Structure formats: structure tokens, C-alpha cells
Amino acid sequence: MTVFDCVKISLDMLNNKRILITGSSGFIGSHLVNYLLQSYENIHIIGIDNMNDYYDVSLKESRLKKLVDLNKDYTFINGDISDRDFIDELFNNNQFDIVVNLAAQAGVRYSIENPDVYIKANIIGFYNILEAVRNHPVEHFVYASSSSVYGGNTKIPFSTDDKTDNPVSLYAATKKTDELLAHTYSHLYGIKSTGLRFFTVYGPYGRPDMAYYSFTDKLLNNEKIKVFNYGKCERDFTYIDDIVEGIIRILDKGPIDNYNLYNIGNNHPENLLDFIHTLADCLIENGLLTSNFNIDEHIELTELALGDVPVTYADTSKLEDDYGFKPNTSLKQGLNNFVKWYKDYHNK
């Protein structure tokens, strides 16, 4: 597999739009830019990313190269959303129809070790974008939130009507802050904003710090993998194409109200142990592990990690009602696509 996977939907309201996408060399951002460039005529995209080294920069560079190689109307700018002067200059020199803010410092556990970068990127950076949109009005401001805002909620599935007042990680707290800031700016200045709570996104070109990627690395190196909460964890794993299709449908139809929030998840949580067995099956089927590989010998059960939650489960009924879309990629299909890409990208 040598190109990004692409969802296939036929919408045309984004033709001739000028779109800013922050975090455009990130996992979700690069897939979104790729789809837009390949699917719409006369669309101009400016992508910004600070190309930080939270994980291997060469992966971000690889994503960026594939976007540039499309030879479409795409301009990439290396810049940081927490730099107010940079953002002001960007908006002073461009008139955007739509702004999609995907730039953020990701990772729940990393936020415990390095809180400063989360405040800088996820709160100050987000505020800078909001101020720019206030001073340079756009048709629609769309931004990434996270399922982590549900914190320790015990009611499942998680609904956007549920309270989200109990985050259990700094990362979650920054994403909840973004939602509150967006609500305030929508109320005060009429900014049409839509927040998207993503649920455990996975797929080709994903982040190496995510469980499915790091599990693959460890299994191929004959190392053990830690499974938290003694295997009693469930995650609503959502394939990248479904995430992109959800974003596209929201961008194309436009905002329903001045302020809105949606879950984008698979609406089907998977037990982490079952997930690992499915991943191992895909690695065996693609020749990366031997047919007699015993996955159970490589699993180490341990307690729930600080900042983690035992279950995530998306109620996507609001997304279905307003935009007619529900993610539907099976775990086996999504993981198999990832493994094929991993094999090609790492020359295995």
C-alpha cells in the first residue's frame, strides 16, 4: 500500500472553498487533506504543522511528501498555532472559508509527564485560532476534541448530552477547555463551531505511540506487551477512513447550529485482549509473524494506568440524525489495512 486510504463519498459543496487545516501533517490531518485534494475541484488548502518530535518526524515528513506529490492546490507552512504573531500574519494574508483545527499535543500519559506542552498547544494555540476566526470570520470552524472528555463516566454509551465535568487526565482537561472556549466564542461572536469527539482512531500512517502501533512493534521484536486494567479494558476503535468521512460530511453540509458537538466512534467497543488477538491474526496472515506464534505468551496484565479509563463507547445517534453517517469499518478490516501499510512502510 503506497497511498493513503480514501473514503468514497460524492459531495460537492466544498468545491471552490479555501480551507485552513492545522495539524495537516498529523495522522488525521494528513488523511483529511489527502481526501479533499483528490476529491474536489478548485479547492485550495493551506496546511500548517509545527512538525514537532513527539514521535518520529520522518513519519510526518512521509505524510507531507505524499500530499505535496499529488501536485494539487496545497500550500504547506511550517508553523506553530501557539505563536500568536504567526497566526495573526497567516489570517491577515489569507481569507479562509473554513478552518479545521486538528493541531494539538496528543497522548494521555505524556500529558502527565510534560504538562507544559499541552497548555501551550491545546489551550493557548486553540485560543489563538479562535481569536483569528473572530477577527476574520469564516463559514464554519471545526475542531478536534476527544472521547477523553468523558473521563470516568460510568454511563455508556457516551452521549454528547452527558456531563463532562470529571476529566481524569490533563489532556482531557485541555480538550474540555477547548469545548468551553468554542462555546463562549460562539455565544459572544456568533462563530459557527463544531467540535468532534474522536474515539481511539487507528489505521495506516497512525501515531507510533498508539497501542495498536506500539503493540505491533513489540510483537515483531518478540517483546511482551502490557495490557492495563488486567485485560478489562474496552475501546471504541474507529478506523481513520470513518473519521475522515465524518469530518467531510460535516464540512460539506455545514453547521447545524452556532455551536455543536458530535461523537465520531465505531459505536462498538472492543475488549483489548480480543483486539490484540485480532491484530496478531492480521500479522500472521500478512507473514509478519509465524503461524505458530503464541500471542498469549506475549501479554503482561497490569493495573490501570494513571489517566486511563476502563471503557470508551460512542453514542453516534446525533451524528446519524444530523449528517446521516455512522462509522462501520470492522476491526478486522481496519487492522488488516494497517498491517499491510506497516509492512510496506517499514519494508518488512
Residues identified as active-site: 171
> What's the grid cell of residue 184?
463562549
* Radius of gyration of the chain from its Cα atoms, rounded to whole angstroms: 19
What angle, rounded to 10 degrees, do the helices at 331-345 and 211-220 form?
60
Which residues are CB-neighbours of 346 under 8 A, at least 6 positions away?
none
Letter string b/e over residues 29-41, b meaning 16 or more CB atoms within 10 A of that residue's CB: bbbbbbbbbebbe
The separation between the first and the last C-alpha atoms of the chain, rounded to the nearest angstrom, is 13
Cα gap 93→107, rounded to integer Å: 33
Per-residue CA distances from 191 to 108, 132, 260, 295 (Å): 29, 11, 11, 50
